[in-house]
Structure 1
Amino acid sequence: MLYSHTPPAEKRRLFRERLATGELLRFPGAFNPLSARLIEQKGFEGVYISGAVLSADLGLPDIGLTTLTEVAGRGQQIARMTELPAIIDADTGFGEPMNVARTIQTLEDAGLAGAHIEDQINPKRCGHLDGKAVVGSDTAVKRIRAAVDARRDENFLIMARTDIAAVDGLEAAKDRAKALVDAGADAIFPEAMRSLEEFAAVRDAVDVPILANMTEFGKSDLFSVDQLRDVGVNIVIWPVSMLRIAMGATGRALDTLIDEGHLTSKLGEMQHRADLYDLIDYESYNHFDSGVFNFTITKE
């Protein structure tokens, strides 16, 4: 009932233990708290919270317009609704190194299992768009050192994202990744890799877990879980996929309303009321108030 039964510190500990096994962990992107619970129900290993999704949810482009307060607040709402660990996109840390430090502690307090800090300049842009610019190695390293120094729970995952491959090439990405690991990063997120060979090259360059971003309509081909596992990827995310699917379905439903005047033809595509009530654990609330759940819903 209500929120997760597993305390955030325990989620982090269990997550770090599982990550240390070397298996590939699947983190679909949640676009709201309810979708995080569905990700858990379907048997995935974790939940990803995308900065692009948080921006889009506010009707804004992904160019660094969201604030730490907005990101942490939405992150807390999502993370507390599932027993799974949740990793959140913290953009460039919302400012200078001292701001990065505050960001990490705020996200710890919000119950997240980890966050990634990137090396783009502000205003940033989606990692799969052209025209990106990155900060120098010194600034990128300072951001990660600040994040590592600020965390109070050693199991809170500090992931360093680098976008430099799209600017200066794969060799620069390998060098940047090594520098970020030396600065204390627990994992590396090499953004916009174009091939499995590029993922493998980053894998060989560092001795910490690496993440693959399988976002649609971007620079990377949409590799399968098995393909990514074979080249040593440890975490794979589908950051915006569930939002794209939900918005696509919503658009088609609105078209049907315009064309047909009702949604009878769409009933088979909808989540049934019974499934929704099961997902939100409606019945468990009866323990507190028998007047809350005193009905039966069938799918007939």
Structure 2
Amino acid sequence: MNHQHTLTILPGVYDGLGASIARHVGAKAVYASGGAIARSFGLPDLGLVSMTEMASRLESIVCAFDGTVFADGDTGYGDTQHVRRMVQMFEAAGIKGVHIEDQSFPKRCGHLEGKSLISKDSMCRKIESAVKARRADDFLIIGRNDAIAIEGFAMAISRAQSMVESGADIVFIEAPETAEQVESIPGFFEVPVLINMFPGGKTPYTSPDSLEGFGYRYMIVPSDVQRACIQATESVLRSIVEKGNSESVSDLLSPLGDRDRFVDQDRWLEES
């Protein structure tokens, strides 16, 4: 996917409904956010969702979406053998790419403090295992590293280069901290580079046009959709609990027609 010099934007989704809405509004690719999926279980983004739980959720996202799905593989759920099984399960679920990161367990959201890393050699073995495990060459292995906050920018570049040498198809350096870092990262690599861009994170906001000009090929926006849902859900629930109805927040409610349209109800009824 995307061998051209253009930027593919992947909005983050975490269930079949979000994937279906993304399809209806014209998205060509989506990102199955591990953090958002964890929060949909009522859990923080600390590596608490199992491999099988994630694979099941990916199946529902793929079934609801007509396009490319990239997924968050966290740390690979263990050692190289776990990485191998994860790649096989996620590829069977129908996604087109997965990123694996070099945090030690328990992992944290990439924009939180207190992260720690496994060794560069251990991470490279995980990438090698992932490459060997895939059945199709066009299933993309994305090497993510979180080294900037721990070992510095130069080491993050070095770790990413080692992942590419081990077979990673795409580079993902998490949480660049300055505009200069954001601009310079793609120039270090001949493979495509992915960036995580969302409001409130450590990375300074950079427009899609600028990112494309710098050489990025993929931009994920992992949590904006869920953050909007969290705020709307809290407001509606608070109104129902305190007032017994949602009249005061009715502007937050989807019209019934849209509710049914986004899950293709008419098509299902026609085929029944």
Give the 3-state SS of the residue equivalent to 1:35 in structure 2: helix
The equivalences for 1:16-165 within 5 A come to: 16=1, 19-165=2-148
Tell whether 2:203 aligns with 1:220: yes
- Given candidates 261, 272, 278, the residue that maps to 2:261 is 278
Q: Could you tell me which amino acid in structure 2 is paired with residue 163 of structure 1?
A: D
Worse overlay, 100-109 or 280-289: 280-289
CA distance in 2, matches of 1:41, 1:275: 11
Q: How does 1:192-203 map to 2 (within 5 A)?
A: 192-203=175-186
Residue type of the alignment partner of 1:33: G
Verify the 8 A CA contact 1:162 1:190 in the aligned structure 2: yes
In 2: Cα distance, 1:112 partner to 1:80 partner: 10
Deviation at 1:258, TM superposition (A): 4.4
For 1:274, the aligned partner's letter is G
Partners of 1:32 and 1:126 in 2: how far apart?
A: 19
Using structure 1 for the length normalisation, give the TM-score.
0.87
Q: Give the aligned partner of residue 288 of structure 1.
A: 271
Residue 20 of structure 1 aligns to a residue whose secondary structure is coil
Measure the CA separation in 2 of the matches of 1:223 and 1:24: 13
1:168, CA displacement in angstroms? 1.0
**Could you tell me whether the CA contact under 8 Å between 2:170 and 2:193 is conserved in 1?**
yes
1:81 & 1:56 partners in 2: Cα distance?
20
> Secondary structure in 2 aligned to 1:211?
strand
In 1, distance between residues paired with 2:9 and 2:240?
36
Q: Among 210, 228, 231, which residue is 1:248 paired with?
A: 231
CA distance in 1, matches of 2:241, 2:88: 48
Give secondary structure in 1 for the equivalent of 2:195: strand
CA deviation map 1:195-250 (0-9, x unaligned): 33212322011111111111333211232222222221111111111111101111
Kept after mapping to 2: 8 A contact 1:28/1:47: yes
Q: 2-side partners of 1:255 and 1:60: how far apart?
A: 21
Any unmatched runs of 5+ in structure 1? Answer: 1-15, 290-300
Question: What residue identity is the alignment partner of 1:225?
Answer: P
Match of 1:211 in 2: 194
Q: How many residues align?
A: 272
**Does the 8 A contact of 2:145 with 2:172 survive in 1?**
yes
1:262 paired with 2:237, answer no
Equivalent position amino acid for 1:55 in 2: A
Deviation digits for residues 79-131 of structure 1, max 9, x if unmatched? 11100211110111111111111110110111111100001111111111111
**% identical equivalent positions:** 34
Question: Who is 1:174 aligned against?
Answer: 157
Distance 1:151 1:145 in 2: 10
Query: Structure 2: where are the runs of 5+ without partners?
Result: none
Residue matched to 1:231: 214
